A = this chain, B = another copy of it.
Amino acid sequence: MVENNELRKVGLKVTLPRVKILQMLDSAEQRHMSAEDVYKALMDAGEDVGLATVYRVLTQFEAAGLVERHNFDGGHAVFELSDGAHHDHMINVDSGEVIEFIDPQIEKLQREIAAQHGYDLVDHNLVLYVRPKS
Please list the residues of chain A having a beta carbon within 8 angstroms of any beta carbon in chain B: 71-73, 90, 92-93, 99, 101, 103, 105-106, 109-110, 113-115, 117-134
* Chain B residues closer than 8 Å to A124, beta-carbon distance: 126-129
Contact at A109–B110, with CB atoms within 8 Å? no
Query: CB distance A114 to B90 under 8 Å?
Result: yes
Residues of chain B within 8 A (CB-CB) of A125 are 73, 125-127, 129
Distance of A126 Cα from B124 Cα, bound (Å): 7
User: What are 15 A-B pairs with beta-carbon distances under 8 A?
Assistant: A71-B71, A90-B117, A99-B117, A106-B113, A109-B109, A119-B130, A119-B132, A119-B133, A120-B134, A121-B128, A124-B127, A124-B128, A124-B129, A125-B125, A125-B129
